Structure 1
Amino acid sequence: METKLPLVMKALAAAQSRLQECRLQINAYAEADEYLQDYQRDQYLEDASEILKANTIRARAAIRIVFELLDLDESLKALEAEFEAVADRLGQVSYYDEYLGPYNEVVDLLSSRLDLVVPLVETPSEVREQRRVLVRMLRQLPHFIEGTGNHPKREKDVQDHLLPILRLAFPDVVREAPVPRQTKIYFPDFGIDSVGTAIEIKFVDDKAKAALSVGGLYEDMKGYANSGYSFFVGLIYMTGNYLTQDQVEAELTNVDTPKNWKVYLVVGAGGRVPKTKKLSKGATN
């Protein structure tokens, strides 16, 4: 088991990501079901149901790999039997009530069975401790920046401050490490292979950007799913108290993000890049 652990962890992260895709599709279906009124509504819902069905089948395949790697033969047989019992509900979206929202019975089954094996795949204690050190470093970043007197004015400035700090504890840190996908290549701001962690930075200097920052992180981090990274950290560096951690947690809960995705807020000194005025035609210096 110990020799398989890195592979099992990657397989588990991939399966969790597949289930997340299913949940997003369920929410997309429900939103269209409630608000879409034009003549294309029925076709859109039919297509959305087919996408959910395909996503669910991929999630099932990913979960099978986890069970097989863990040699859970009997549990896998039981899961297959349970799956077959509800297979006719693939792609169907149902509703608990107006508060609990939409669900799919097959996705719920797969999710609950995968949750049972998560405790069997524990992150090594050394890696857990290193990740805790990493998070502390990220959350203390404003204190370091304050001491330099070189206050950031954009996202790249924050990254430039962070890189030498990360190298002190994580010499294998890579800036913009590529994560290839079928249609494009994603580049997390930092990748640390030794702790299987991708880091994404956002710089926020007004309330308008703050409102979009969490969603932006979420979209970025989705691109790194099914990669070699099993832990994802977003850091939002704000120059004022534009958001609270509770607001961030609520938004992440609303979209049902996996437990291995974390987003932290920090407040530090900074400013804006001054906008240059464009000269009108015919103007002279």
Structure 2
Amino acid sequence: MHAYLRQFYRIFGVMFDASKATSGYDIDLYWSGEPYNTFLASLRQFLAPLNVLGDADRYLKLSGIQYLEVILENTASIIHKMGQTPASEAEVYKAVRHILESVFPSAKTPKSNFFKTAQEYKPDILIPELSSAIEYKHANNEAKLKAVIAQISDDVKGYTGDDDYNLFYAVFYVTNDFWGKAKFEKAWEEKNFPKNWRPYYIVGK
């Protein structure tokens, strides 16, 4: 507990700054879409392991999402360290999936109900414990990159009807930096995808 207290002081400071604590707000893009106080959110997350909060599970899930996003951001590094040069979408997500399955056990045998009249939609990776689905896209030229961004529009419509999943990731693995991150983010913004869809632009080889 002494070590835990030292961590508390390191994160929140020895002196309590009420003005700063009450003025910091952000938008909860993961669930509610509503503004929340960042100090209280950090405090709840810090206290969650002590099991003194009724909504501790929500903040443990938020911690899990942070781990997930770090893994997705490091897709290129993971593939590079494995010595692979993926030539397809399947080769990309298979290289990362075993990492995710090690961190999130529920990703090993997931189920979903994304059924539509004409077809069943199957995300590349599902993580039930985080209510998250991940779709990987592979592009080896600029034209293909434009095409796979357009494909996400169909995925957005298809990945509905299953209340167990409410956060979706689109990871674009490109073999060269065709656009740069700024142009990619602009193209994504112009599509007006739902806020619960989060993109990643990953430059590999």
Alignment TM-score, normalising by the size of structure 1: 0.49
Distance 2:119 2:83 in 1: 38
CA gap 1:263/1:180 in 2 versus in 1, 3 angstroms: same
* Contact preservation (8 Å) 1:231, 1:261: yes
Q: Following TM superposition, where does structure 1 have runs of at least 4 consecutive aligned residues deviating by more than 6 angstroms?
A: 120-123
Specify the SS of the correspondent of 1:265.
strand
Specify the SS of the correspondent of 1:138.
helix
CA gap 1:207/1:255 in 2 versus in 1, 3 angstroms: closer
Quick one: which of 103, 112, 119 aligns to 1:184?
119
Quick one: which of 228, 231, 235 aligns to 2:171?
235
Q: Which moved more, 1:212-221 or 1:195-204?
A: 212-221
Distance 2:199 2:111 in 1: 20
Query: Would you say 1:205 and 2:140 are equivalent positions?
Result: yes
Quick one: which amino acid aligns to residue 161 of structure 1?
Answer: A
Quick one: which of 69, 72, 79 aligns to 1:135?
69
Distance 1:141 1:223 in 2: 25
Distance 1:220 1:168 in 2: 26
For the aligned residue pairs, the C-alpha RMSD in angstroms reads 2.4
Quick one: which amino acid aligns to residue 99 of structure 2?
Answer: I
Quick one: which of 185, 196, 199 aligns to 1:260?
196
CA gap 1:169/1:212 in 2 versus in 1, 3 angstroms: same
Specify the SS of the correspondent of 1:185.
coil
Quick one: which amino acid aligns to residue 177 of structure 2?
Answer: N
Distance 1:231 1:159 in 2: 18
Q: Deviation at 1:120?
A: 8.4
Distance 2:147 2:100 in 1: 26
Q: Deviation at 1:243?
A: 2.6
Quick one: which amino acid aligns to residue 67 of structure 2?
Answer: V
Query: Would you say 1:221 and 2:156 are equivalent positions?
Result: yes
Choose between structure 1 and 2: higher helix proportion.
1
Quick one: which of 73, 95, 103 aligns to 1:161?
95
Q: Once the two structures are superposed, what CA deviation does each residue of 1:1-54 show, in whole Å capped at 9, x if it has no partner?
A: xxxxxxxxxxxxxxxxxxxxxxxxxxxxxxxxxxxxxxxxxxxxxxxxxxxxxx
Counterparts of residues 81-100 of structure 1 (less than 5 Å): none
* Contact preservation (8 Å) 1:233, 1:262: yes
| Residue of structure 1 equivalent to 2:34 | 119
| Residue of structure 2 equivalent to 1:194 | 129
Distance 2:175 2:111 in 1: 27
| Residue of structure 2 equivalent to 1:13 | none
Alignment TM-score, normalising by the size of structure 2: 0.66
Q: Deviation at 1:174?
A: 4.7
* Contact preservation (8 Å) 1:203, 1:236: yes
* Contact preservation (8 Å) 1:175, 1:189: no
* Contact preservation (8 Å) 2:175, 2:204: yes
| Residue of structure 1 equivalent to 2:106 | 172
* Contact preservation (8 Å) 2:78, 2:96: no
CA gap 1:158/1:119 in 2 versus in 1, 3 angstroms: same
* Contact preservation (8 Å) 1:145, 1:151: yes
Distance 1:263 1:158 in 2: 16
Distance 1:133 1:124 in 2: 15
The structure with the largest alpha-carbon Rg is 1
Q: Deviation at 1:138?
A: 0.9
CA gap 1:145/1:118 in 2 versus in 1, 3 angstroms: closer
Q: Deviation at 1:255?
A: 3.0
Identity of aligned residues (%): 24
* Contact preservation (8 Å) 1:201, 1:235: yes
